[in-house]
Amino acid sequence: MNLTYSPDAEKFRDEVREFLRQNLPEDWRGFGALDNEAAEAFSREWRRTLYEHGLLGLSWPVAYGGGGRSKVDQIVLAEELARAQVPSGRVTDTTTVKMMGNTLVRWGTEEQKQRFIPRILSGEDVWVQGFSEPDSGSDLASAGLRARLEGDEWVISGQKIWTSRAHEGDWIFLLARTDPDRPKHRGLSFLLCPMDQPGVEVRPIRVLSGQTEFAEVYFTDARTPAENIIGEVHGGWAVATSLLSFERGEEAATNPIYFKAELDRLIDLARQQGRDCDPVIRDRLAWCFTRVEVMRFLGYRILTDYLRSGNLGPAASISKLYWSEYHQVASDLALNLLGAAAMIREGRRPFKHFRTDEPGAPNTTNSWLDVALLNARSGTVYAGTSQIQRNIIGESILGLPKEPPVAAAPR
């Protein structure tokens, strides 16, 4: 591990800090300190500010509206935004910028880049992810949504599920079965489909918190032009797997910052509840502290490899497993500290629906309840479950024998 930034990267860090000084209010206490309505308004405005200053798509080519800077600068920017407690985009930008934008830069044709990337950066198009299906989650390669070429259009039929923010999507990227007779990994294509058409129906799924964050998306002879495919026909698996790694890109740098901010809030909560001198609570807080420190060094290790090779590699699975399992224990501690008070909901709900609440969030029951009961629970499921991460670590890092293949269930 040797994570030292070059003088150029440090110079860029100073520029970002100056930008933040000039563009954030003087009394800024963190994105989490805003109430939900103000946070939504702020995040839209802030995204525009980032865009206007060339800080969205920072490492993408200038020809498509990107910043043309290095991956190191991209990491430096992510670190500084997290430290300043401001978001790096809107909530839909995980799928729009990080997943779809980076995939287009890596795999798109010249025409696709020219057409889609500027609209992604400007915020005109929101993209959502159509990978999971009722019978294909961990075993994504068994996806069964069908697409066939009819003249100059793909005709798509089937169902996707757990599509985050589907109701906000202008476009959905799909893993679709284009040849059922080939081996499962080799019969899939990566298609881009407009959502606003009669053949696409979004049915919201209401979750325990009462929110409708996810949806099922039904396709009944939905249509998209033949050229809306990324990569080769039947070559979608390689595109899909590279897209999944983009989701993890900056996490190695930002996770330790977010989890440290959450731990500070947890320590404050112990003080507020008069439990900070309780030896059992102190022991549990110390455990959390050591975990967050280890997370920081794990992040350095992953970043060192990433900046050297340009790839995240299987070590990213260690990080995913580590933070997601840590978070369930830490947020349980918050509920223990709140005790019976946790049954009375007060304060705003977390603005961010995955992982920690935003830095600067108040120690309200609503914030901790939703984080502990919902967000932290989902952390060991989305982006590859803990069991799948353990399989990857076992096979790709420890060199253990591969899992025997399981025959697909009859449909």
In sequence order, the 6+-apart residues with CB closer than 8 A to the CB of 264 are: none
Q: Considering the complex, what minimum distance in angstroms separates the CB of residue 316 from ligand FAD?
A: 16
- Taking CB under 6 A as the binding criterion, the range among 160-168, 188-196, 217-225, 315-323 that sits at the site for ligand FAD is 160-168
Q: Considering the complex, what minimum distance in angstroms separates the CB of residue 53 from ligand FAD?
A: 29
Q: For the chain, give me the number of helices (H) and strands (E)? A: 13, 8
Q: Which helix (H) or strand (E) holds 293?
A: helix 279-309
Q: Does 164 bind ligand FAD (CB under 6 A)?
A: yes
Nearer to ligand FAD, 322 or 354 (CB): 354
Q: Does 306 bind ligand FAD (CB under 6 A)?
A: no
Total chain residues near ligand FAD (CB under 6 A): 18
Among 6, 241, 290, 387, binds ligand FAD (CB under 6 A): 387
Nearer to ligand FAD, 84 or 156 (CB): 156
- Are the beta carbons of 173 and 129 closer than 8 angstroms? yes
Question: Looking at 247, 250, 262, 358, which residue is catalytic?
Answer: 247
In sequence order, the 6+-apart residues with CB closer than 8 A to the CB of 157 are: 145, 146, 147, 219, 220, 221, 222
- For residues 329-361, one letter each, b for 16 or more C-beta atoms within 10 angstroms of the residue's C-beta and e for the rest, the string is ebbebbbbbbeeebeeeeebbbbbbbbbbbbbb
Among 15, 385, 393, 396, binds ligand FAD (CB under 6 A): 385
Q: Does 219 bind ligand FAD (CB under 6 A)?
A: no
Assign residue 182 a region (left: φ > 0; alpha: ψ between -120 and 50; beta: otherwise).
Answer: beta
Q: Does 131 bind ligand FAD (CB under 6 A)?
A: yes
What are phi and psi for residue 197, nearest 5 degrees?
-160, 155
Q: Does 101 bind ligand FAD (CB under 6 A)?
A: no
C-beta nearest to ligand FAD: residue: 137
Cα within 13 Å of Cα(36), Cβ side? 9
Nearer to ligand FAD, 42 or 382 (CB): 382
Collapse the DSSP code of 406 into the 3-class scheme (helix H, G, I; strand E, B; otherwise coil) and give the result.
coil
Give the C-alpha separation, 261 to 355, whole Å. 12
- Stretch 234-293 residues interacting with ligand FAD (CB under 6 A): none
Q: Considering the complex, what minimum distance in angstroms separates the CB of residue 163 from ligand FAD?
A: 5
Q: Is 247 a residue of the active site?
A: yes
Structure tokens at 344: 């009375």
Nearer to ligand FAD, 59 or 129 (CB): 129
DSSP code of 136? B
- Stretch 339-368 residues interacting with ligand FAD (CB under 6 A): 354
Q: Considering the complex, what minimum distance in angstroms separates the CB of residue 158 from ligand FAD?
A: 13
- Are the beta carbons of 363 and 295 closer than 8 angstroms? no
Q: Considering the complex, what minimum distance in angstroms separates the CB of residue 114 from ligand FAD?
A: 26
Q: Which residues are catalytic?
A: 247
Q: What is the contact surface with ligand FAD in residues (CB under 6 A)?
A: 129-132, 137-138, 162-164, 354, 378, 381-382, 385, 387-388, 391, 403
